[in-house]
Amino acid sequence: MQNYPYLDVKPEVAQAVAEGKPVVALESTIISHGMPYPQNVETALQVEKIIRASGAVPATIAIIGGRLKAGLSEEEIEYFGKKGMAITKASRRDLAVLCARGKDGATTVTTTMMIAHMAGIKVFATGGIGGVHRGAEKTMDISADLEELSQTPVCVVCAGAKAILDLALTLEYLETHGVPVIGYGTDELPAFYSRHSGLKVDYRMDTPEEIAEALRAAESLHMRGGMLVTNPIPEEYSMDASVIGNAIEEALREMDALGIHGKECTPFLLSKVKDLTGGDSLESNIRLVYNNAALAARIAAAYAK
């Protein structure tokens, strides 16, 4: 492993990586910015339990005091949950400055991929990735997550891109940058809160072993970028697309009226959609994260074999 002076790998995680055992990375923005306290802490700890029950070691990733952490303690997860939005949402552009200044940072998909790769972790579970925002033809608002997927060799397991985004343009961007989009048990791109978007993925794969074999092939070919595995939310927690669509449209109108832009968009929209759906979207969000964690652990276990 290359030497990274700012990187601290939890001993349990370091040992698992060194021994070739399955490890699954987890982001910390979902703790600090994705859910209210104490649900954020309860969810984060439950996700770790699900990964352990599925035979892998969890590695929640964050920046604490300028140190890149691959694996958090329960106390550190509690700390992130309580500080919440007061912690900087850290993308690639923020990493060096936060390290230099000794500050905290909640890792997005982008920075979780970066730190996971530094630590030798191949598989990462999240809720939904960022993507091309609606109206990006005017604003150029495109998540750094997509660029990171094109250059960092980590397998990201998600429930598709967040439904607040332009899903068709997100797929186009990924295609242009050579990122394979795999549907787990589906030919269709999941739409985060709901199972259907009407958009096709690049490949359908029906077992964790099939995905792990594709990962091994990509590694042997020295492919530069990552792989996106889209896992539909369980049927019983899938929301009606029209209900979510109406809530998103209302949230977007309010966001525009308030002049919110940049990295504040996603937290605002997710919170507003939660309010407009009476909390149903938060419950769906939690359940799809659990579902993704279990699949990521099975992929990591199959890869380790």
Tell me which residue of 158, 152, 145, 151 sits closest to 122, measured CA to CA. Answer: 152
Q: Are 63 and 7 in contact (CB under 8 A)?
A: no
Determine whether 27 is an active site residue: yes
Active-site residue identified among 27, 48, 78, 148: 27
Which residue shows structure tokens 């790769």?
Answer: 117
CA distance 2 to 94: 21
Active-site residue identified among 69, 89, 122, 162: 162
Which residue shows structure tokens 């279990």?
Answer: 294
Could you tell me the two tokens for 83?
């500080």
Tell me which residue of 155, 153, 152 sits closest to 123, measured CA to CA. Answer: 155
Determine whether 236 is an active site residue: no
In degrees and rounded to multiples of 5, residue 214 shows phi and psi of -65, -35
Q: What is the CA radius of gyration of the chain?
A: 18
DSSP state letters, 228-265: EEE-PPPGGGPPPHHHHHHHHHHHHHHHHHHT--GGGH
What is the β-pairing status of strands 57-64 and 67-70? antiparallel
Q: Are 126 and 115 in contact (CB under 8 A)?
A: no
Helix (H) or strand (E) holding 90: strand 88-90
Spatial neighbors of 19 by CB under 8 A, at least 6 apart, are none
CA distance 249 to 284: 19
> Hey, which residues are catalytic here?
27, 162
